[in-house]
Amino acid sequence: DAEITQSPRHKITETGRQVTLACHQTWNHNNMFWYRQDLGHGLRLIHYSYGVQDTNKGEVSDGYSVSRSNTEDLPLTLESAASSQTSVYFCASSEQGRETGELFFGEGSRLTVL
Amino acid sequence: GQNIDQPTEMTATEGAIVQINCTYQTSGFNGLFWYQQHAGEAPTFLSYNVLDGLEEKGRFSSFLSRSKGYSYLLLKELQMKDSASYLCAAMDSNYQLIWGAGTKLIIKP
């Protein structure tokens, strides 16, 4: 069965360290997204991609970067982790077409920055 | 600005019916989505409305009024497994999803 997987599922790091969260999907979807979820907030979009070599900034992109070298993967990098980036991160994918709002989510990566 | 409002928490009884409301303000509109999220898990897609009216899918139904910027999710014959957060999201003119903070639904026996 097709799926979307994230790793690591749990990560504790220190302020200033670089962290990369992996996301791999086997749906063959063109669209991939990274969100963060914090208590009291809706899902907030960090970065997204509509295909290979395409990346776009979301509403909370400061301090994060992504790259899309193939269809399956969209790794999220925190260049210099800050305590404000402690959160649960979800990767998601959807079929081709920007109007497609049916997202398939990974199980999430819980990041703690000390 | 863009905004989605939904109640923070609701409580209902097993076997009953509950309606979760959502109001939205977006720059343009390309559809209203509902997702279910169990504690500690990923959100999963429930429904999509782009035209006014009611869409029924088993025990779950979703309603949309575009003129009022309003939607609701109706859950019938509640089961304990329906205890979860329900996320409302509206798609704006740039095809970006704007998410509400979610409604935590507590089901009591």
pLDDT of residue A99 exceeding 80? no
- Binding-face residues of A in 76-95 toward B, CB within 8 A: 90
- Kindly report the nearest CA distance between residue B103 and chain A, in angstroms: 10
Average pLDDT (B43-71) is: 96
Radius of gyration of chain B (CA): 13
Query: Is the Cβ of B29 closer than 8 Å to some Cβ of chain A?
Result: no
Nearest CA in chain A to B33: A101
pLDDT digits (tens, 9 = 90+) for A26-84: 999 999 999 999 998 889 999 999 999 999 999 999 999 999 999 999 999 999 999 99
- Quick one: pLDDT band at residue A1, thresholds 50, 70, 90? confident
- For position B59, what pLDDT does the model report? 97
- For position A2, what pLDDT does the model report? 81
Mean pLDDT of chain B: 96
- Quick one: pLDDT band at residue A96, thresholds 50, 70, 90? confident
Query: Is the Cβ of A40 closer than 8 Å to some Cβ of chain B?
Result: yes
Q: How far apart are CA B42 and CA B23, in angstroms?
A: 23
- For position B82, what pLDDT does the model report? 98
Contact: B87, A101; criterion CB under 8 Å: no
Sign of the four-CA dihedral A1, A8, B97, A28: negative
On whether the CB atoms of residues A74 and A49 are closer than 8 A, the answer is yes
Q: How far apart are CA B39 and CA B75, in angstroms?
A: 18
- For position A40, what pLDDT does the model report? 85
Look up tokens 């395409």; give the residue: A54
Query: Is the Cβ of B99 closer than 8 Å to some Cβ of chain A?
Result: yes
| Sheet strands side by side (includes B70-75) | B3-5, B18-25, B70-75, B60-65, B53-57
Query: Is the Cβ of A102 closer than 8 Å to some Cβ of chain B?
Result: yes
- For position A98, what pLDDT does the model report? 66
Task: Let me know how long chain B is.
Answer: 109
Average pLDDT (B53-80) is: 97
Query: How many CB pairs lie under 8 A apart between chains A and B?
Result: 50
- Quick one: pLDDT band at residue B49, thresholds 50, 70, 90? very high
